[in-house]
Amino acid sequence: MFRYIIAAVLVFMNFVPGSVSAYTHADTLRGSNGSGRSWWDVKRYHLSVDFDLLQHSVAGRNQLFFEVTGNATDSMQIDLQKPLVLDSVMVTPSLMSPVLKKARITQEGNVWWVEYPFHTMAKDSVYSVVLYYHGVPRSAKNPPWDGGVSWGKDSLGNEWDAVSCQGLGASVWWPCKDAQWDEPDNGMRMEYTVPDTLQAIGNGRLVSSSRRDGNVTYYWEVKNPINNYDVTFYIGDYAHWSDTLMGEKGRLNIDYYALKYNEKRAREHFAVVKNMLRCFEYWMGPYPFYEDGYKLVEAPYLGMEHQSAIAYGNKYQMGYKGKDRSETGKGLAWDYIIIHESGHEWFGNNVTAGDMADNWIHEGITSYSESLFTECLLGRESGIKYSKGLRTNIENRAPLIDDYGVNAGGSGDIYEKGAAIMHMIRAMSGDEKFRQMLRGLGQEFYHGIVTTAEVERYISKKTGLKLDAFFEQYLRRKNLPVLAYYIKDEQLHFRFEEVVPGFSLPIQVSSGKYTTTIRPGSDWQQIKWQKGFNINFSDDYLISIKK
């Protein structure tokens, strides 16, 4: 996802992350690994949904396969948001036995407690529950930021519907374990039934379709683990064409879905995709989902990083809705939605933060991938210029890491300030070491769930830099380091103010052709400076300067 409106909404609400006076019990149920969740691990989902496009309702079932990993309590937490209703739950006492047992269910807001003697189940064995549900899911108010289902029509009056639910949660439209840290390890099957005049597109690969009584069911298969909020559908009258890329892991299937009347311009506009994928593979390693392919699907909202089915809604403009967010002009050389949302396949979808409080990992590294693509397209200087230009959007209103365990997703700064952190690490470690670190992150945590601490440790290890104080400052403090200096008696005096203990940076200081590197800390230091008052400090670092 992307920041703009998030920041606007937050500003409007005068909301500062980490400043929420009281999280609700619902926030804790949603954001924490409580007793109804901690004893089981999702292995696979098999979701089938019938869409009633007139009533804007859904009816279906989800078979959730889970492994008992801990001491099972007789209560399982299933997330399904009002006004949807969980009608019934059947349990497979063992995967071998076809006999299903009915469980008792009780509702507590957006949580359904499934009561069943789960304690009788064997540890390290896999079982399933079949969740039957129906209802009218929440309609999106301002998608994708304020999500839900977008029911609508295209310009020719054809049905055009889709869903976006990051933050709000997948449980807004299907019953699941709505926890960012627990993805279905063995992938997912989706079956979407719609009137047979339309297509229903899902994540992964189309396995088959079947028609009956004026309806058609599309069967989609995802082989890889997938974020709940990435599971999606697009219903509409689409044109479809495909291509392949010979990438780092061999042949990658690429599919495009644009509204039929947009096919011509979409074919031109999407032509950037293969170069983008090559660029991203160079900087971040192989595309993480070869088994599922890569897809761009035209959506009735701006965009979203739905794994192997990226939502595209930037109306075939360059930049972000035709604007350059870096204000350098470089951001108008490509389409923001295609690049940003696709970058998330590497960070957000492949490497996923276990708690939304660490979503800077998603948005910061992905926002930096925009600069890397600019560099591939226009050269190193342009890429770096774009990255520095993004800083104009940083507000420093809150630390990047938000409150844990309450489904809190960080401030708008997780984008540009996160990207600035990546650029500073690059400046300190050098291009090739940085590139190997970035590729290594995607490999070390391949299809994985991470914490900020794990990412910090990995980056420090891989770059050989001591980054504890650096990360403490930029991830856990809201304010920027202040480089204070004065020149007296041909001595340059300097130190950092408002920094955490042990904070320092290798700052290049120059005057004319003369350059040297200083390493300010929180105590005053001085060096011989016979260059007068014409002094420049490297702008690779996100600091403020005080004379």
Rule CB under 5 A: is residue 89 a binding residue for Zn ion?
no
Number of residues that bind Zn ion (CB under 5 A): 2
Structure tokens belonging to residue 333: 């050389």
Structure tokens belonging to residue 233: 């559908």
What's the rounded Cα separation, in Å, for the pair 366 and 347? 6
Which residues, listed in sequence order, are joined to residue 159 by a DSSP beta bridge?
A: 153
Q: Which lies closer to Zn ion via its Cβ, residue 62 or residue 166?
A: 166
Rule CB under 5 A: is residue 310 a binding residue for Zn ion?
no
Which strand (E) or helix (H) includes residue 282?
helix 273-284
The answer to whether 226 and 208 are in contact (CB under 8 A) is no
Which span sits near Zn ion by CB under 5 A: 1-9, 176-184, 235-243, 529-537?
A: 1-9
**In whole angstroms, how close is the CB of 190 to Zn ion at the nearest point?**
23
Q: Which lies closer to Zn ion via its Cβ, residue 1 or residue 296?
A: 1
**In whole angstroms, how close is the CB of 370 to Zn ion at the nearest point?**
10
The answer to whether 394 and 418 are in contact (CB under 8 A) is no
Which strand (E) or helix (H) includes residue 482?
strand 482-488
CB-based contacts of 76, cutoff 8 Å, min separation 6: 36, 37, 40, 113, 114, 116, 118, 129
Rule CB under 5 A: is residue 421 a binding residue for Zn ion?
no
Q: How far apart are the first and last CA of the chain?
A: 39
Which strand (E) or helix (H) includes residue 361?
helix 360-378
**In whole angstroms, how close is the CB of 416 to Zn ion at the nearest point?**
12
> How many Å separate Cα 432 from the centre of its chain?
25
Rule CB under 5 A: is residue 168 a binding residue for Zn ion?
no
How many Å is the maximal CA-CA distance in the chain? 90
Binders of Zn ion among residues 16 to 45 (CB under 5 A) are none
Q: Which lies closer to Zn ion via its Cβ, residue 359 or residue 473?
A: 359
* AA letter at 84: L
Q: Which lies closer to Zn ion via its Cβ, residue 191 or residue 335?
A: 335
Q: Pairing mode, if any, of strands 205-212 and 126-135?
A: unpaired
What's the rounded Cα separation, in Å, for the pair 520 and 231? 47
The DSSP code for 104 is: E
**CB nearest Zn ion: which residue?**
1
What's the rounded Cα separation, in Å, for the pair 491 and 28? 55
**In whole angstroms, how close is the CB of 359 to Zn ion at the nearest point?**
9
**In whole angstroms, how close is the CB of 1 to Zn ion at the nearest point?**
4
Q: Which lies closer to Zn ion via its Cβ, residue 399 or residue 410?
A: 410
Q: Which lies closer to Zn ion via its Cβ, residue 230 or residue 540?
A: 230
Rule CB under 5 A: is residue 284 a binding residue for Zn ion?
no
CB-based contacts of 461, cutoff 8 Å, min separation 6: none
Rule CB under 5 A: is residue 302 a binding residue for Zn ion?
no
**In whole angstroms, how close is the CB of 11 to Zn ion at the nearest point?**
19
Q: Which lies closer to Zn ion via its Cβ, residue 1 or residue 64?
A: 1
Rule CB under 5 A: is residue 459 a binding residue for Zn ion?
no
* DSSP secondary structure string for all residues of 54-79: TTTEEEEEEEEEEEE-S---SEEEEE
**In whole angstroms, how close is the CB of 343 to Zn ion at the nearest point?**
8
**In whole angstroms, how close is the CB of 368 to Zn ion at the nearest point?**
11
Q: Which lies closer to Zn ion via its Cβ, residue 281 or residue 363?
A: 363
Q: Which lies closer to Zn ion via its Cβ, residue 1 or residue 10?
A: 1
Which span sits near Zn ion by CB under 5 A: 121-129, 175-183, 327-335, 355-363?
A: 355-363
Q: Which lies closer to Zn ion via its Cβ, residue 229 or residue 494?
A: 229
**In whole angstroms, how close is the CB of 2 to Zn ion at the nearest point?**
5
Rule CB under 5 A: is residue 172 a binding residue for Zn ion?
no
Q: Which lies closer to Zn ion via its Cβ, residue 416 or residue 540?
A: 416
Q: Which lies closer to Zn ion via its Cβ, residue 320 or residue 474?
A: 320
Q: Which lies closer to Zn ion via its Cβ, residue 1 or residue 72?
A: 1
What's the rounded Cα separation, in Å, for the pair 539 and 535? 12
The alpha carbon torsion through 217, 241, 351, 366 (nearest 10 deg) reads -130
The alpha carbon torsion through 311, 313, 317, 322 (nearest 10 deg) reads -110
**Residue whose token pair is 């003369």:** 514
**In whole angstroms, how close is the CB of 426 to Zn ion at the nearest point?**
20
User: What are the helix (H) ranges across 295-356?
Assistant: 336-343
**In whole angstroms, how close is the CB of 317 to Zn ion at the nearest point?**
18
Residue 115: Cβ-neighbour burial (10 angstroms; 0-12, 13-18, 19+): middle
The answer to whether 503 and 468 are in contact (CB under 8 A) is no
Binders of Zn ion among residues 174 to 203 (CB under 5 A) are none
**In whole angstroms, how close is the CB of 336 to Zn ion at the nearest point?**
10
CB-based contacts of 144, cutoff 8 Å, min separation 6: 1, 164, 166, 301, 302, 303, 304, 311
Q: Which lies closer to Zn ion via its Cβ, residue 203 or residue 429?
A: 203
Rule CB under 5 A: is residue 1 a binding residue for Zn ion?
yes
**In whole angstroms, how close is the CB of 169 to Zn ion at the nearest point?**
17
**In whole angstroms, how close is the CB of 161 to Zn ion at the nearest point?**
23
Percentage helix, strand, coil, to 5, in the chain?
25, 30, 40
| Interface map 357-386 toward Zn ion (x if CB under 5 A) | ------x-----------------------
Q: Which residues bind Zn ion (CB under 5 A)?
A: 1, 363
